[in-house]
A and B are shown apart, each in its own frame.
Chain A
Amino acid sequence: MAQMTMVQAITDALRVELARDEKVLVFGEDVGVNGGVFRATDGLQKEFGEHRVFDTPLAESGIGGLAVGLSINGFRPVAEIQFFGFVFETFDAIASQAARMRYRSGGRYHSPITFRSPFGGGVKTPELHADSLEGLFLQTPGVKVVIPSNPYDAKGLLISSIRDNDPVIFLEHMKLYRSFRQEVPEGEYTIPLGKANVVREGTDVTIVTYGAMVHTSLKAAEEIEKMRGAKVEVIDLRTINPLDMDTVIESVKKTNRAIVVQEAQKSAGVAAEVMAQINERAILHLEAPVLRVTAPDTVYPFAQAEDIWLPDVQRVVDKLVQVLDF
C-alpha cells in the first residue's frame, strides 16, 4: 500500500496495464517526453518505450480516429484528450464511430478504447477546459462513462475501463488530482464499471452524486446531521453510463427522500436521468419530490465567477432542508 494522489493512482493504473498487456497503447498530446500536462503519464514513455507511449500531432480528431483504427486492429488504446472541453473535436470519432462500431458490424468489430480526459471546475482554467460535458455521453448509446471521486477508485476503475471491451470515457476531475492522498494498493485490482458505491450510510435522505461533488455532498451530510440530526446516505455513482439504478432505488426505498448533486448544468444531464428513473421505479416510496443541485444553464463561466456558479455545500444543505421539510 502506498499513499497516492489521484493523478499518481492514474499513472499507476496505466503502468499496471501497460506492463500486463502489450496491446495497451497510451497516446495523446504531450503525454510522452513531458509526461502529460498534469504528469498523469510521467515516466511511462521511458519505462515502456516510444512505440507504446507516444506523443501525437496536435489534433484531437486525429487522436480519436487513430484510436478507432487501432481498436479494430487488435489494440487497446488509452487515448488522452488533453482537456475534456476539447472533446467536441473528437466527438465524431467517439459518438459516430467508436460508439457504433459493435452495433454497425453486428458484433464483428468492437472498439475497446479508453478516452482519458481531465475536466472539472474550481481551478481557474481558461474557457473550454473545465466544462462538465458528461451529459452528452449519457445520450450516446454504446459508450460507458466513468468519473472517479478519489485515488483508490481512480486506479481500480481505470484498470477496469482499459480492460473493458467497449469504449469508455474516463473523466478525471482536475480539482481532485492533487487535493488529497489515500491508501492505494500496489499492483492490480479492479472496481466494476456500472456499480455505484454507498460512501455514507443514512436513513433519512439520499444524495446521489459523483466526481468532486461527492466531497461537497459528504460535507453537507455532516452539516445537516449536526444541524438537525438527519442521517444522510451518500451514493457515489462512480459510473454515470450505465447508471447503477439498483443501488439508488434500494437506498430511496429506505430513506424515501432523495436529491441529486452534480457540477454540470441543470438540464438533461445525470441528475435529470436519475430523477426520471426514481420516478419510474420508486414513486410510491417517496415522501417528497426528488430535487437537484446543479450549476445554472449557462456556458461554463469565466474564472472569476466559477466559485459562485459551482454548486457548494450551502446549496446542498438548503436542498436537503427542502426535501426533509416537504
Chain B
Amino acid sequence: MSVSAAVEQAGNNTPLQILAPDGTVVNPELMPELSDEQLRDLMHKMVFTRVWDQRAISLNRQGRLGFYAPVAGQEASMIGSQSALAKEDFILPSYRDIPQMVWHGLPLYQAFLYSRGHIHGGQIPEDVNVLMPQIIIAAQCTQAAGVAMGFKLRNEKRVAITYFGDGATSQGDFYEGLNFAGVYKLPAIFVSQNNRYAISVPFEKQTAAESIAIKAVAAGIKGVQVDGMDVLAVYKATQEAKQRGINGEGPTLIEALTYRYGPHTMAGDDPTRYRTSEEQGEWEQRDPLIRFRKFLEGKGLWSEKDEEAVIEEAKQAVADAIKKADEYPKMKVSDLIDVMYETLPRGLEEQKAEYVEKESK
C-alpha cells in the first residue's frame, strides 16, 4: 500500500506511522527498503544532531555561538526527510533547518560561522545543493517552486525540498508556493514541521483547518500527514514525494507532526510562558531517538557502545568545528562592500576606501 492510499484510508486523521513510540513496527507494509547500514546511519545522524544541539545551546550560553534555534525533538523530521534525498536534490531551509544543511554537505564550522554572523557561513560550497537559511517566514516556498521549475525545464531527475514551520502556513507565500508548484506539476516537496508553536502562538490559533496536510487539497496537490517523531515514516513519505516529483506527478506537501523541546531561539524566548511541562513531557514520551533506538536494538543493529561512540564523535566534531570557526579570518566591512555588486559602483568605491582605512588601523 502506498503512503497516499494509507492516508486516504485513514481519512486524513491518522498520521502515517511505521514505528510506535515503543519502537514496535505498526505498519510493516510501509517499511522503506533500507539496508542495515542505512538504518544505522539514520540513528547515527540523529544522535550526532542531538549532541551537537546540546553543545550549541551551551556554547550560546557562554556567548560563543550567537544566533541559534534549537532542534531537539525535531531530529526525525529533519533527518528522515533529508536522508531520503540524493546529493543533487536542492534544499531551501529555514533558520532552524541547519542539520539538513550539514547532512547535505555544509561543513559544520560554516554552520557555526552562520550563527556567529560571519559571511562565510553563507558561502555554501559549490557542490552542496542548499540555500542559506531563510529568515523571512515562508519566503522559501515560492522559491522552491522556482528551483523545481528549473529542474523540470532541464529534464533533470532532481527535486527541490523546502522546510518551514506550522506558522509559515499562514503566510501568503506558502499558498502561492503550493499553487505554483501544482499548476506546473513541479518536482517540489514542501515539508512543514508542525512543532505546534510559532514562537508562542499555538497551532490552534494559527489555522482553523484540522491539519496542514489538508491545505494541499485546495492547491490540487498531494498532502500527507506523518508522525514527525518517527524517522522511518518521515523517510518513507519523503521518498514517495520525491518519486512523484521526478515521475512528473507534481509536488507534495508533507506535514510532520513534531515538537521542539527547547525555546524558539536562544535569544530570550521562555516557553513556560505559553506551554506546560506536562505537554512537553507527553511529547518527550514519543522521542524520535528513543523510539528508533528501541527498534534498532530489537534488530541487533544498535548498542550502548554504538551510542557512546557517536556521542564522542559528535563532541569531537563540534570541538573541531568551533576551533576552525575561531581560526577563520575576521570579517571586514570592506569585504562586505565587495560582494554588493559584480562591479563596484563608483560611489561605493569611495565608501569602501573609508572602511579600508579604518580597518587597517
Which residues of A are at the interface with B, using a C-beta cutoff of 8 A? 29-30, 32-35, 37, 55, 57-62, 85-86, 88-89, 124-129, 266-267, 296-299, 301-306, 308-309
Contact = CB atoms under 8 A, between A and B. Distances in A.
Interface size class of B (residues with CB under 8 A): 35 or more
A308 B358 contact: yes
B281 interface: no
B184 interface: no
B207 to A, nearest CB: 7
A33 B332 CA distance: 41
Interface string B147-188: 000000000000000000001101110000000000000000
B207 A86 contact: no
- Complex A-B, nearest 9 residue pairs according to Cβ-Cβ distance, in ascending order: A303-B117, A58-B167, A34-B200, A57-B170, A296-B351, A302-B117, A59-B170, A126-B67, A58-B198
A46 to B, nearest CB: 12
Contacts, number: 118
Given A57-B170, A128-B136, A305 B200 contact: no
B25 interface: no
Interface stretch (B40-48, B234-242, B333-341): B333-341
A303 B66 contact: yes
A178 to B, nearest CB: 11
Given A267-B347, A303-B117, A57 B167 contact: yes
A267 B167 CA distance: 36
Contact of B137 (A58, A303, A305): A58
A57 B168 CA distance: 9
B171 A59 contact: yes
A88 B171 CA distance: 13
Given A301-B336, A304-B116, A305-B117, 11 more contacts: A32-B200, A37-B268, A58-B171, A89-B136, A125-B67, A126-B67, A296-B348, A302-B119, A302-B121, A304-B331, A305-B333
A127 B67 CA distance: 10
Contact of A34 (B66, B273, B359): B273
Contacts of A57: 167, 170, 201, 205-207
A57, A61, A129 pick with most chain B CB within 10 angstroms: A57
Contact of B171 (A61, A267, A299): A61
6 contacts: A35-B273, A57-B205, A126-B117, A266-B351, A267-B347, A297-B348
What secondary structure prevails in chain A residues at the interface with B? loop
Interface string B57-87: 0000000001100000000000000000000
Contacts of A304: 116-118, 330-331
Contacts of A55: 200-201, 205
Nearest to A128: B135
Interface in B345-361: 347-348, 351-352, 354-355, 358-359
Nearest to B264: A37
A55 B273 CA distance: 14
B308 interface: no
A319 to B, nearest CB: 11
B295 interface: no
